[in-house]
Homo-oligomer: A and B are copies of this chain.
Amino acid sequence: MINRVVLVGRLVRDPNMRYTQNGVAVTTFTLAVDRPFVGADGDRKADFISIVAWRKLAEIVGENLKKGRQVAVEGRLQSRSYDNRDGQRVYVTEVVADNILFLDSPRGRREDGEAEVAPAAGGSVDPFFDAEEVDLSEDDLPF
């Protein structure tokens, strides 16, 4: 399968971090992704996308991101359904993140200084990246 999503947007609320019964961290948040041009009514529009992160990524997000913060999110699209309190089946499409890059701090907070700025390496948690492989590709490459 091929299933890849890349988004840049801002958190519309503080992220929501929880744990499953098995103690696995899960953090969810909604990302506002601006549309480039104004609508017919002259308003700027945005798409509001649900993001889910698991484990270490969930913890980094839950502890470091706040409402208004700009991030790049990479992941895959997932569909899920559940029954709400009225007994109705609700269908959800969300992005399961596997890499989140912290970009600039929220507007009007620039005076808060570096604490608001992206945590360096820790801000990006990339499950693809194999450090060993990188060195291989520069050392004893058979081609």
**Residues in A lying within 8 Å of B, measured CB to CB:** 1-9, 16, 18-22, 24, 26, 28, 33-40, 45, 47-50, 52, 54-55, 70, 72, 74, 76-80, 82, 92-96, 98-99, 101, 103-104, 110, 121, 124-131, 133-143
Contacts and interface: CB of A to CB of B under 8 A. Distances in A.
B128 A128 contact: yes
A75 B61 CA distance: 24
A9 B5 contact: no
Q: Which 9 A-B pairs have the closest CB atoms?
A: A2-B8, A18-B142, A93-B93, A40-B135, A104-B104, A6-B6, A36-B126, A37-B131, A47-B79
B143 A18 contact: yes
Contacts of A33: 1-3, 77
| Copies of this chain, whole number | 4
Contacts of A131: 37-40
A85 to B, nearest CB: 12
A15 B141 CA distance: 16
B127 A78 contact: no
Nearest to A70: B103
A7 B3 CA distance: 5
A72 B139 CA distance: 28
A134 B1 contact: no
